Amino acid sequence: MYTITLGGMSGGGARDIGPLVAQKLKADYVDRIFLSNVAKDVGATVEALHQREERLPTRSEKWIHVIQRLLERSAVTGSAGDPYFGPGITALLTEEYEDIPQPTITRGHEVEDDVYIEAIESAMKEMAADGDVVFIGRGGHVILKDMPNVLRVGVVASFEDRVKTLMSRETIDRDNAMVTLEQRDQARKHFFKKYFELDEPDNPNLFHFTINSSEISTNYAADMVIQNLNSFADGRMFE
């Protein structure tokens, strides 16, 4: 059972390649939007699951259980806000990097941050251990770097192509897309520095290989990931 994690800057192509890889492999696709939807649905869904404990949960229900435990752990720490939707852990999981709150650093915040990251790492590793998952972002290529069943793929693109992607995806003009990318890049860099002590989150050494989505098609990129996954699973990648 193998897991794939794709990492890269906003608009770089990972969010286009990832779903296609998952579709071709019949694997689960997990990104911040997926996690956000799960977090929103957790309360009612878990209550319903308690009434159906006589059968095995579906894969989607398993993810709900993972997020439920993660959010409950966040509540135990005494973080501010609603016990299931405190501002810290759900922001790290589900928001764009520039929207994640950046509080003044104090020892209290540092302790809280440690708990949040520990919980996220635990949840992501649990998902990865089950296999058949394609992760996008959230520091997966760092969090899962020591798991032997995880293929880590970097995705890059030219700034111009990233601008075009954002214009199309978020229906904004060129100037707004450029400003958004610059803000998002800085926020993402801050995120990796703060939580993983990394100055270069896209360093090639953090990945098994990197794809330049400006140079190849999305479909070919997805096939490349799958081909490398097969080599990875067979051990041929390391011969």
Is 47's pLDDT higher than 50? Answer: no
Most confident listed range (91-100, 103-112, 179-188):
179-188
Place of tokens 């394609």: 134
> Which residues contact residue 157 at a Cβ distance below 8 angstroms, ignoring those fewer than 6 apart?
8, 9, 11, 12, 13, 165, 212, 213, 214
CATH topology of domain 3-238: Rossmann fold (3.40.50)
Find the range with the poorest average confidence among 7-16, 57-66, 97-106, 114-123. 97-106
Gap between the Cα atoms of 215 and 212, Å rounded: 6
Tell me the average pLDDT across 204-214.
Answer: 96
Give residue limits of the domains in the chain.
Answer: 3-238
Question: Residue 155 carries which DSSP code?
Answer: E
Is 57's pLDDT higher than 90? Answer: no
Token pair listed for 82: 């609603």
Find the range with the poorest average confidence among 2-16, 93-107, 169-183. 93-107
Token pair listed for 26: 């019949």
Is 223's pLDDT higher than 60? Answer: yes
Token pair listed for 51: 């009434």
Most confident listed range (22-26, 78-82, 191-195):
22-26
State pLDDT tens for residues 9-22.
999 999 999 999 99
Sign of the CA dihedral running 187, 191, 138, 13: positive
CA 131 to chain centre: 15
Sign of the CA dihedral running 26, 27, 32, 35: positive
Token pair listed for 208: 């098994």
Gap between the Cα atoms of 134 and 122, Å rounded: 17
Residue 46 pLDDT = 42
> Which residues contact residue 22 at a Cβ distance below 8 angstroms, ignoring those fewer than 6 apart?
28, 29, 134
Which one is predicted more confidently, 83 or 151?
A: 151
Give the rounded percent of residues in the chain with a pLDDT score beyond 70: 64
150 forms beta bridges with 3
State pLDDT tens for residues 88-100.
555 556 566 666 6
Cβ atoms of 228 and 209 closer than 8 Å:
yes
Considering the chain, what is the average pLDDT of its residues? 77
Give the rounded percent of residues in the chain with a pLDDT score beyond 90: 44
